[in-house]
Amino acid sequence: MNRVAIVSALIAFLVGLSAATFSELRIFLPAILKGAVVTAQVSVLSIILFLFMSLIAGIGRSRGNTAIRWISTIYIEVFRGTSLLVILFWMFFVMPEFGLTLSPMVAGVAAIGLNFGAYGAEVVRGALGAVPKGQTEATVALNMSAYRRMTRIVLPQAIAIMIPGMSNLTIELIKATALVSAVTLVDITYAAVQQNQLHYRTIEIFLITVMLYYCLAQFVRFGGEALEEYFTHHLNKRV
């Protein structure tokens, strides 16, 4: 909570300072804020896909039958092994060859979500493996079904373990949304570049850009810390 105060004070100070110092702020700020809306849209949709893929592939790779395990492993290795920008271009330029033309927004969300989903799957897999073996044995002794075991016992405990890793990945994901400017989406980064080419105010424009990304990252960080607090409440031995 202390850090929220510090960050908001810092932001207010910087905004005031820029407004006072750089008179042209009002000229290029609206365009960049419009870009921030696009960045937020891409981020939210990608995060949903990222979390979904992480869970599916992470559970699939650690608990599925042989076929599911193979499919999950191939997905994870392919989407981690290639570069995000390559995946993005492939979605945007090559998918139409398969008869599937994606809008820039869909291509961006799909590429980012699938790429980070592959990293997230490994976080989920690690967390599932970190739930003590005795917990699974207790569910067998209580004759619980595999589905109940996962949803009632293993996942609730694994979620607490995976939150720090997933929150770091979410921050990386938001930074990675800058790449959607490659497929003509005008996000914060693209808007900044456009404004800079119009006004040649490199330092001010990029200062604002950095600030916006920094705020988004802090937002996720606090959310992650709150969630972690909530989920680990009873998991650790308290003295």
Partner 1 sequence: MDWRWDFTFDVVLPRMWEAAGVTVWATVASFAFALVGGLILMLLKTHRSIWVSRPATEVIEVIRATPLLVQIFFLFFLLPEIGITLPPLTTGILAIGIYNSALCAEVYRAGFQAVPKGQWEACIALNMSPYRTFRNVIIPQSLPPIIPALGNYLVAIFKETPLLSFVAVAEIMQVSKLIGAEYYRFTEAITIAGIFFLVMSLIAAFGIRLVENYVKRSILH
Partner 2 sequence: MTHPMIQFDKVVKAYGALQVLKDLDFSVDRGEVVSIIGPSGSGKTTVLRVLMTLEGIQGGTMFVDGEPLNKMNMDGQLVDASKAHIRRIRSKIGMVFQNFNLFPHMTALENCNESPIYTQGKSKAEATEESMRLLEMVGLADKSGHYPSQLSGGQQQRVAIARTLAMHPEILLFDEPTSALDPEMVGEVLQVIRDLAKSGKYTILLVTHQMGFAREVSDRVCFFDGGKMVEQGKPDDVFGNPQNARLQQFLSKVLEAG
The dihedral through the CA atoms of 186, 190, 194, 199 has a sign that is positive
Of 42-50, 55-63, 83-91, 153-161, the segment contacting partner 1 by CB under 8 A is 83-91
The nearest distance, CB 235 to partner 2, in angstroms, is 5
The yes or no reply on residue 71 touching partner 1 (CB under 8 A) is: no
Amino acid at 131: V
Amino acid at 155: L
Q: Cα–Cα distance between 19 and 232 in angstroms, integer?
A: 42
Write each residue from 151 to 190 as x if it is in contact with partner 2 (CB under 8 A), else as -, in one continuous string: -xx--xx--x------------------------------
Under 8 Å between Cβ of 61 and 76: yes
The yes or no reply on residue 130 touching partner 2 (CB under 8 A) is: no
Select from partner 1, partner 2, none the partner in contact with residue 69, using the beta carbon and a kind-dependent cut-off of 5 to 8 Å: none
- Cα 200 to the chain's mean position, in Å? 32
Select from partner 2, partner 1, none the partner in contact with residue 184, using the beta carbon and a kind-dependent cut-off of 5 to 8 Å: none
Question: Does residue 132 come out as left (phi exceeding 0), alpha (psi in the -120 to 50 range) or beta?
Answer: beta
Select from partner 2, partner 1, none the partner in contact with residue 156, using the beta carbon and a kind-dependent cut-off of 5 to 8 Å: partner 2
Q: Cα–Cα distance between 28 and 154 in angstroms, integer?
A: 50
The yes or no reply on residue 8 touching partner 1 (CB under 8 A) is: no
Q: Cα–Cα distance between 108 and 114 in angstroms, integer?
A: 10
Contact pick of 84, 102, 144, 153 for partner 1 (by CB under 8 A): 84
**Euclidean distance between the first and the last CA atom of the chain, given in angstroms as a whole number:** 23
The yes or no reply on residue 43 touching partner 1 (CB under 8 A) is: no
List residues binding partner 2 (CB under 8 A).
132, 134-135, 137-138, 140-145, 148, 152-153, 156-157, 160, 234-238
